[in-house]
Each structure stands twice: as structure tokens, then as C-alpha cells.
Amino acid sequence: MDVGAVRKDTDPASDRPTAVLFDRATLAYGREPVVEDVDGVVRVGSTVALIGPNGGGKSTLIKAMLGLVPVVGGSIQVLGRTPARARRDVAYVPQADTLDPEFPVSVHQVVLMGRYRTIGWVRPAGRSDRRIAAQALAAVGLAHRAADRFGTLSGGQRQRVLLARAIAQQPKLLLLDEPFNGVDAVSQEALLRALGELRDAGATVIVSTHDLSLVHLACDDVCLLNRHQFGFGPTSATLTPDRLRAAYGGAALQVHVDNVIVAHS
């Protein structure tokens, strides 16, 4: 079976503008390629999952879309520009944020940091910036914790606050690296709801995750990745047992529950 890219040219959504274009992109640290020949299209207003085993290049691909990892072969275009030039319109929620939970900063202040790219670090936040931050916090269901210290929140709640900070940037493209790791069911539901609202407002979402059940529920397309691409396209056409076995080195276990395939590495 061919486990190459599933192109979107025949998809009904293919007439929508392109948010991210991968053209046989190869990424490297130094001289050593770590991801090779990623090829596919991410449409504006869609949600795309990056799926694959640990060490397969998901985080590297996200960093390349931020212009932080060199593209040594092929190309990546983000919002019609190079990744570095598009960065102002891109928000990023990393796996582990550098913000110290012990730092004495309120939840609202953390979310307001998402406005600094627009207002700068010197000029104080205005009324509209505070309103945008409050709306972003409400979108993740934590408006009632705005005055609390960030470090007093649970891990799942902190992840929701970091998503609110990204939403406050009002991005055209949102990149999330394993946002559901270690979060409780309530936070997971809140994250999914906020991402859905963001997409409905016209933003594009690319999320790295290991949870294939969430991919089937929330994502339009999938990039299946393990150092090179094993599929890129609609979820149902890409997350097949054969492709999963190939991407996970034969260590994929299919469990069919309501047409959901779960893979274990």
C-alpha cells in the first residue's frame, strides 16, 4: 500500500485559501535531516492534527512553521509568506511553558501578555486590550479565576490560561504542541470548545497530539509523521490501520470503538 501523501486537491474544501503550504519540506538541525519530504496543504479555517510517535518530528515541524528550524529542502509557506515573516500572525502554545508557576502574576496578567506583540512591552495595555484578554479568558471557561495567582491553578487550568494568552493575540494561525497532555476531562472539554470557537471565527489550528479519539472528533485533516510523512489529508482517509502500522513501526494497535482507531507506540 502507498503510504505517501493524501493530497487535498479533490476535497470540497480545496477552494478555500491556503494557510500553510508544505512543498516537500525537509528540516534539519545542522547537517542532519530530522524531518523529510512533508508535502500538503492546510486550508484557512481548518483544524489539522500532527500525529506520530515521540521523536518523529512533530515538535520540529511546528518550530519550522515558526521559523525556528531551518528548511533545508523544499519549502514551507505560512499565510503566503516565509515562516519568519508570518510570525506576527501566528500564536504558539508549547508543550511546557517557561512561565514559572511560582512567579507572582495573576491569571489575567498572563493572558494580557498575549497583547504585548501588538502594543509593545513599554506602552501600557489599554481598555481594548484588557477587554480582549477578558474575552479570551472567558472562552476557556476561567473568567472567574482572573484575579487568582497563575501558580495556584491546576495543570489543566494553566494550560487553558496559556491557550487564552494565545487567543488574545488574535492569531490567524494557532500552533499547539501536545496541549492535552496531563489535562483533566473538564479542561480537555474547555480546550476543545475554545479551539472550535477560534476556528469558527476564521483562524486555522494545527495541533500535535497522541490522542487519536480527539483527532476524529475535532480535526479535519491529519499529517501522519515519523521523520518522514506517511499521510496528509482527511482524517478518515489518513488514519487507516496500514498507515498507522507503517508510521509507528508496526507497533500500532487498532481498537475500533465508534470508528475510532487508537494507536499505541
What are the structural domains, with CATH classification, of the chain? 12-98+171-247 (3.40.50.300)
How high is the pLDDT of residue 233? Answer: 95
Strands (E), 79-215: 90-93, 173-177, 204-208
- The stretches in the chain having pLDDT less than 50 are 1-12, 253-265
Q: How far is CA 147 from the centre of its chain?
A: 28
How high is the pLDDT of residue 213? Answer: 86
How high is the pLDDT of residue 252? Answer: 52
- Which has the closest alpha carbon to 141: 161, 112, 170, 125? 161
- Helix 185-200 with 127-139: angle, nearest 10 deg: 130
CB neighbourhood size of 189 (10 A) = 12
How high is the pLDDT of residue 219? Answer: 93
Report pTM: 0.86
Looking at the DSSP bridge assignments, the partners of residue 18 are 43
User: How far is the C-alpha of 187 from the C-alpha of 193, rounded, in Å?
Assistant: 10
- Grid cell, residue 177, equals 504542541
User: How far is the C-alpha of 129 from the C-alpha of 113, rounded, in Å?
Assistant: 10
Mean pLDDT in the chain? Answer: 85
How high is the pLDDT of residue 250? Answer: 65
